[in-house]
Chains A and B, each alone.
Chain A
Amino acid sequence: MRRFLLGIASVLCLVACSPSPSHQSSTIRIRWPRDPENLDPLVAPNSHAVEILNLLHCSLLSIDYNQKEFVPWLVEAMPVVRQRDSLTLVTYQLRSEASWDNGLPVLASDVVFTLKVMNCPGLPNEASRAQYGFIQNIEPDPADERRFTLSFRGRARELVHSSGDYPILPEHQLDPQKHLRRVSLAALRADTVPNKRRQQPDITAFVQRYQRANLNRQPENLAGCGPYRLVDWQTDRYVALQRKANWWGDRVKAAPPQLQAKPAAIDYEIIADEATAVLALRRGDIDIYPMMPAKDFLALRQNKAATQLSFYTADSYEMIAAGFNTRQPELQDARTRQALSYLFDIPGLIQASQQGMAYPSVSLVSPAAGESYHDSLPLLTFNTQRAQDLLRSAGWQQQAQGWTRRVANGTLQHLKPSISYRAGNPAYEAIALQFRTAAAKIGIPVQPRPTEASLFTEHLRTGNVELYLQLLSGNPFTYNFTPILHSQSIGWGNFTGFGTAASDQLIEAIATEGDPKRQAHLLRKFQYLLRQECPLVVLYFLQYRLAATNRLTNLHATGIRPGYEAAAIQSLPAGTIQP
């Protein structure tokens, strides 16, 4: 035993004299729960990757988190939009200061190149191709090499925003031999038929060069025109970014916020466990803990010892909703769906699963949306009596074996719905169990069905669910409910199976309406319709919570992911704040 203790003591000595990590106060260290996994600008599989790519590269447009609107980034001003027949033409003018690291200017040819790369067969660009494939053509202005016009079909407002929302790639780095110049965008776009990839030597040569760059894991091989460059990336440990000493944005006079990048370095520290992350924040190993769980946030805020921390919250545009699969015979009529929606105790759930840090809404529109929010609709209440009345009016009868009804063709229906959700998420489990408890009180047996993520998606798509819980996300700029409620998305994003001619028309009208007043009117109509038809009910909107050390200033918590704007954060020099 003595020898063993001696051994331990010597190890401890060795450990104790190891160098303690030093860190500069101008570095901002942010906690992430997981690795970005893939930093290829064409792939960007998760929000973390998107966040880094937005620091390494610039898009044509960017988001002003305070104004909650799109703002020009690589371009001088918001684009000029014209309509020609069914085509929408969008003309952009690139900033004259915009340049790559080697001083070459960012030109319209780079945008043409980017569009071609996003449509080039053989690259892992399926997602961006599906997302931006709507852009049919790009015409550079022959008189001005910084000016170009994009054209696409459709009038929806978010298409204009989307047309400028991808990182612009440098042609001189990725394609110095100008292989892609010899292939037209139309030819690349037409090259979609699987198994029939055209074996053009130009495309093959370019694809090989792109793959050799190995941008998935070595994004430092591609110097974008963003304010930061990647210094070090250790999988599942950290990603370190460094501010470029000579970034073109610094030369813009009276630079707007999106052209300012304050921190000299940003470190993303990957800490998988929440409890460990809280500990790291308390120890000062990290500066910002975004997307903090409500319980940790409240506990830390009430902790008297945690004086070196500041706390921020922002109302987000993410909501947890319960959907009804209207293709199930028991859930086909709106009254049954309405009745069941009275069984959710929303204030109780907000308290229970979000510690009160969430807010209810009448429908898919955030209550912060001003006129668009239908404030004269009442919030859903927890009312078992009302639910019973509605069920009876829908033809259900309560009997010894539960609620039953006889439908037109003579079959006897039993009301015993299941509620499916992704397994492993406590918020969903809380909702499912609360719903089950409430339904049991009025004699409806409910079966919770937690399902593994992939299987859950499959069940949703094939319609093998009855009630289900899902996270929906919106944004403050545009409203487009096509993906989740239009009848053309049934089986893809519309898992409710809902969709009438009237609702489809309304959804399309909302998406294309340019005038805010008229759009607000349409939105109110849509919220009313949703309440009547009840294909899904919004339980609550989430709040984003963020804790950070006091030495950070100009830190704005935003309701849009990632919940903060890293490039805007400033830090006081160490020592100015006494802990």
Chain B
Amino acid sequence: MGHFLLHRLLRTFPAVWGVVSVIFIISRLLTQEQVLNHRFGEGETGSHVASPAQRQLAELQIRQRLGLTAPLFYFSAAPPPVAGLALRWQWNGAHNQYHNWLRQLLHADLGVSFRDDQPVVSLLLQSLRYTLPLTIGAALSCLALAWLLTPRLGRKSRGRSLLLTSLYLIDAAPLFVVSLLLLLLLANPEMVALFPAYGLGREDPTATWLVHFQTMAYHLALPMLTLTLASLPALVVQLDAALNHELRADYVLTARAKGLPDALVIRRHVLRNALIPVLALLTELLPSLVAGSVVVEMIFSLPGMGRLLAAAAAAHDYPVLLGGVLTVALVRVWGQVVADWLSFQADPRIRLPL
């Protein structure tokens, strides 16, 4: 099995390279106004503003410093011929933006941010430090809740339809509404101020790890609850459908006839067969573990990955954006491999596509 995993994981690299290359080209083809423009006051009527000539020069200098003056790719479109046939492309040589970027990438260097010249790798790691505890905590509690709820799903009861309806309700409300409601209910001095309203408190280098953990847990509890609630409906609805399909199978009847309690039938026998479509869903969960959640991070003011990438996208800070895409894409293709492997574990009859 180790062989399979290793083999498949290695084979994901070309896919990731392809994904990131395509996005690199697309993003660099887009307008760069934002990168150049945010440093000049637009629409200022009072103070002295640089003249158009000075600004043009400054833009050129910024482009040059950021490495945006070189041609984009190895070849670019050639001017159309007047008559007859001609090559559509012209060769630019190895001195191009893509080549430089790829060479850096091979040295595990994702470049520096357009905004503050910081290495993208350290920016990503910094954000993951806050995002991973949040998303992994939420995913675990989501799975735990789903595990607890499965026996209730198998039976046709009032409780089940009530549960499903309320899950649909949570799903119909946008995430920011759910987060704001929780915030206004549980962190409001006028209601119940159980949790802090925002942020992660002060960084205290002298504190012990236990105190660190405590402050982190205290500040992350509410965002985690929000994320759990938000991701629960899709999971449970899926599980419910699969369970109901499986419960009609003969082996369930046999198991019940043996006198096994319902919860045991479901957890021991049915769940395993119902898991496969759910595993596909879980692969979607994995990338969002590293991608974070913009809405939750915005509302609770957490410096996570979602916010980093959203800010980078808004400012067209492409190195950071591409670093984020690379991370997410890696986790996504690896998640796919792991899901294939897990579905084999759940049902060994599945042949693994190598």
Contact = CB atoms under 8 A, between A and B. Distances in A.
A and B touch in the complex (CB under 8 A): yes
B61 interface: yes
A35 B33 CA distance: 21
Q: How large is the interface on B (under 10, 10 to 19, 20 to 34, 35 or more residues)?
A: 35 or more
B41 interface: yes
A453 B48 contact: no
Interface stretch (B13-21, B83-91, B298-306, B342-350): B298-306
Interface stretch (A129-137, A139-147, A436-444): A129-137
B49 A493 contact: yes
A157 to B, nearest CB: 10
B38 A273 contact: no
11 contacts: A15-B214, A17-B214, A18-B214, A216-B118, A269-B198, A271-B198, A273-B198, A275-B299, A277-B198, A455-B33, A457-B33
B81 interface: no
B45 A364 contact: yes
B37 interface: yes
Contact of B64 (A14, A43, A162, A194): A194
B214 A14 contact: yes
Interface string A444-486: 0000000001110110010000000011111101111111100
A208 interface: no
Given A21-B202, A271-B301, A305-B190, 4 more contacts: A126-B61, A126-B65, A276-B183, A282-B188
A159 B46 contact: no
A279 B180 CA distance: 11
A406 to B, nearest CB: 36
A489 interface: yes
Nearest to A455: B31
Interface stretch (A51-59, A77-85, A235-243, A391-399): A235-243
Contacts of B303: 234-237
A424 to B, nearest CB: 9
A45 B114 CA distance: 11
A134 B48 contact: yes
A454 B115 contact: no
Given A276-B299, A473-B44, A478-B46, A283 B197 contact: yes
Interface of A: 1, 4, 11-12, 14-15, 17-19, 21, 34-35, 37-38, 40, 43, 45-46, 124, 126-127, 129-131, 133-134, 156, 158-159, 161-162, 165, 192, 194-195, 216-217, 232, 234-238, 269-273, 275-277, 279-280, 282-283, 285, 305, 317, 364, 453-455, 457-458, 461, 470-475, 477-484, 488-489, 491-493
Contacts of B195: 15
B161 interface: no
A133 B32 CA distance: 24
Nearest to A39: B116
Contacts of A273: 198, 298-299, 301
A539 to B, nearest CB: 14
A272 B307 contact: yes
A46 B200 CA distance: 24
A489 to B, nearest CB: 6
B33 A472 contact: no
Interface string B187-211: 1111001011111111100000001
A130 B117 contact: no
Interface pairs A-B: 9 shortest CB-CB: A236-B303, A475-B46, A130-B50, A454-B34, A18-B214, A130-B58, A127-B39, A126-B58, A162-B48
A161 B43 contact: no
A488 B52 contact: yes
A321 to B, nearest CB: 8
Interface stretch (B92-100, B215-223, B246-254, B323-331): B215-223
Contact of A131 (B42, B48, B308): B48
B32 to A, nearest CB: 8
Contact of B183 (A127, A156, A279, A493): A279
A195 B70 CA distance: 12
B151 to A, nearest CB: 10
A232 B298 contact: no
Nearest to B216: A18
Contacts of A40: 116
A119 B55 CA distance: 14
A488 B116 CA distance: 32
A67 B40 CA distance: 27
A276 B50 contact: no
A158 B49 CA distance: 10
Nearest to B69: A194
Contacts of A236: 301-303, 307-308
B157 interface: no
A192 to B, nearest CB: 6
B117 A216 contact: yes
A471 B41 CA distance: 11
Given A270-B301, A279-B183, A280-B198, A124 B46 contact: no
Contacts of B32: 454
B33 A317 contact: no
A124 B57 contact: no
B314 interface: yes
A282 B52 contact: no
Given A285-B197, A457-B33, A192 B41 contact: no
